[in-house]
Amino acid sequence: MREKCQKCAKPATYHITDIEKGKPREYHFCDEHARQHINPPEDAPAMPMGDLAVELIKGQAGSREPSAADKQSCPVCQITFLEFRNSGRLGCPHDYEVFRNELMPLLENIHDETRHCGKVPKRAPRNSQRQTELIELRNKLKRAIAAEDYETAARLRDQIKEIEQER
């Protein structure tokens, strides 16, 4: 199982060993908390560290190009994996299949499980085809509102309500 950050629930991406009073002490931090550890506030006591560690935390050596997974997008809702990483929210149920290789380790790390065993909203469609149709209608509704096409938006809204009320 992967380590979690000592200060939050995010995965630990930096494992730092400091020598304090002659004894090693390990820290496990996410990006944000590692930066805080390496670059403490002005009034905090100075801490010696290697140049490589400083470069990694500041992002000079640690900055990376977006991966192929970051650029991958869902054909249904159009969300990219990078957008998911930034927001923490998926766009539709199909994202679990599209981003499966990246999500499975993440879900297992966070939830210690990779399948849903909980409740389902009452208004959720019974089958995946209806779910896909709802997602597409909602995306069209967003585009219609953005284009200020209110007649189309009203028609789409009504279609969405109709599907949601079917049980």
Dist CA 9 CA 16 (whole Å): 17
Query: Would 120 be classed as within a structural domain?
Result: no
Max mean pLDDT among 106-115, 121-130, 152-161 falls in 152-161
Domain count, the chain: 3
Query: Would 123 be classed as within a structural domain?
Result: no
Show the DSSP H helices in 39-127 as ranges.
51-58, 68-71, 81-87, 95-98, 100-111
Query: Would 80 be classed as within a structural domain?
Result: yes
- Tokens at 93, concatenated: 């149920």
Angle at 162 between CA 161 and CA 165, to 5 degrees: 85
Residue 45 parent element (H or E): none
Long-range interactions of 25-28: CB distance < 8 A, separation 24+: 28/3, 28/4
Q: Are 101 and 134 in the same domain?
A: no
Nearest to 77 by CA among 140, 136, 137: 136
Query: Would 26 be classed as within a structural domain?
Result: yes
> Contact at 8 Å (CB) between 35 and 20?
no
- pTM (predicted TM-score): 0.37
Contacts of 7 by beta carbon, 8 Å cutoff, 6+ apart: 29, 30, 33
Give me the domain span that covers residue 87. Answer: 75-111
Over residues 8-49, the pLDDT tens digits come to 888 888 888 888 787 888 888 888 888 887 776 665 555 555
Query: Would 8 be classed as within a structural domain?
Result: no
pLDDT at 23: 82
pLDDT at 62: 46
Query: Would 66 be classed as within a structural domain?
Result: no
Query: Would 119 be classed as within a structural domain?
Result: no
Query: Would 47 be classed as within a structural domain?
Result: yes
